[in-house]
Structure 1
Amino acid sequence: MSMARTRNLHPGINLGATDPDVHRAAEGVVFGFWLFLMADLVIFGALFATYAAMSVQGIAQGPSPAEIFDLGSAFVETVLLLLSSFAFGFATLEMKYRGNIGRLYLWLAIAGLLGAGFVAMELHDYANMIAVHGATPQTSGFLSAYYLLTGTHVAHVSFGIAWMVVLMVQIGVFGLTGIVKLRLLRLGLFWHMLDVVWVGIFTLVYLFGVVS
């Protein structure tokens, strides 16, 4: 097999050794998806900047971050999301090296359920903050920025879970075709990107908030 068929054409998991045709097709597709992810990260960057300003200057008469944040809950949410990303990594390796549909379904299901657990815990935190502290988005600029930042992330995770379910249906209907593999590659990049964003949220919002 020539070097042109096996070289890495893009960042991320490469299929050159197991599916050279999809590997070549992924070059342009994955590059375009990286551009989308970078644009999405610009949005998160603006939300981070807004939150950083509001968490200091926008508390007004409302509660401060240290008064309402549950660091233990945020830590568990972080573990759930990291484990979900880990499970999705095993799903992509299964797709690349073995192609066992049953095991691929298993890893995708684990990743999706862990992601759903993260979303459920985050929504529970929102409900608890509102019920116990009266910390609604209208209370202060800080809380508006908090709900917007974390809510945008929760919306992304929820969309990723729905995307995962759709792909599981497509695998069952079409099998591991080249198009389905390319979609799995893109979902993997999206899912791992959400992990990176959440680590930033956990550090800036929860850790710094509790320490302050």
Structure 2
Amino acid sequence: MRLLIIEDEEDMREALCYGLRKLGYAVDSSGDGAEAAQLCYINHYDLVVLDLNLPGMDGMEVLRHIQSQENPTKVLILSARSELTDKIAGLDGGASDYLTKPFHFQELEARIRMLLRRSFTQADAALMWGGLCLDTNARTASCNGIPLELTMREFAILEYLMMHMGRPVSAEELMEHVWDSEADPFSNQVKVYISVIRRKLLAVTKDEIIRNIRGAGYLIGGEEKKC
């Protein structure tokens, strides 16, 4: 999943980016409201974490900009503004959640997971197909009961494919949602990672979990199966 962190305090912004990247998220960041609004216009993010006290453009103005788009991204406001009126204004303005500073990173992480599940109409923390199971809370995977040793990037690719089970996902879409803005869109990284994931799956199952759909992308799913 690809996130945008909008936070003007550099130390806080870098800490959030570091912690979320360690969890396997692709993360872009900005410390300026006007720049952040432009990033939201150019890129499609799965979630925006938004501070309200920003230079260039106030956070509420950034929120209005996001909400004006055809398919607005979900927004989690993370702000020192703790008055009830601020929370009501943020939620009424279209934010999906509001967390006040100071905060525990574990709570932020849990709220991000919850909002991402809601984005993909996924109620359960476990994603399952055939013998493949992903626990999106613990960030662990298994196939036929055997743990899979996946890197964060490999887990993120599988997670995105399983959140879109039943439809092909192109390499370009995977690059957009699993890699950050530093990624080279002309590289063959997706193909390489898919090959590695398949090799790990084939070590524990004979089933073809990830299928290539010519001209469309990579597909997991069809008729639902249970672990």
Max Rg structure:
1
Q: Pick the structure with more strand per residue.
A: 2
| Larger RCO of the pair (alpha carbons < 8 Å, separation 6+) | 1
TM-score normalised over the length of structure 1: 0.27
